[in-house]
Amino acid sequence: MPEDVCHIANHISHAPKIILLGETEVAGLRGTTSLSDNQLPGLWEQFHGLNKDFFTTSAGYGICETQKTAYTKDGDALYSVMIGGPVKDFDCLPLELAKKTLRAGRYAVFTHRGTLGNLYKTYQYIFGTWLQTTREELDDREDFEVYEHEILSSDDPDNEVKIFIPIK
């Protein structure tokens, strides 16, 4: 069985859970990354070094700020990301933390299991297969990932990531 087929068959929730999520305030670190030069591991490492007293859960959020994406002539994508966690409010946060409010709305929530190196295959399934066959329509809000457990290694086959796709 080809690796892509095996991943799709065994490591992705095929039918997402549709949820209504309230407005969520997130604080964390903002950075810029690209498809060719992934800066995310460094941002996650910095985030794990922060004092976590003001976060409401231990979950980590990875937010792709799609409105700030720039495409280069060579086909690469340069985009803004925020790595953080939910907070009760933005009062009394350290100045070095960026603040973002995730807008309320409906989300299709997929679960990715396995190595983070295969995460792009999950996104390929979501946007290339599921979105083409569903009656749901994308909404103009940012998608984001929720890591409910700390990732000890990107190669860990027990990793689990919830992917929130905004829908109308």
pLDDT at 109: 97
Position 38 scores a pLDDT of: 78
Q: What is the mean pLDDT of the chain?
A: 84
Residues 6+ apart with CB under 8 A from 85: 26, 27, 28, 47, 52, 55, 56, 57, 58, 59, 60, 61
Residue 70 has a pLDDT of 65
What pLDDT is stored for residue 154 in this prediction?
77
What local confidence, expressed as pLDDT, does residue 13 receive? 62
Q: What is the pLDDT of residues 90-102, one digit of tens each?
A: 988 888 899 999 9
| pLDDT of the residue at 157 | 81
Identify the segments of the chain with pLDDT beneath 70: 1-13, 35, 66-73, 75-76
Coil vs helix vs strand at 69: strand
pLDDT at residue 27, as a whole number: 95
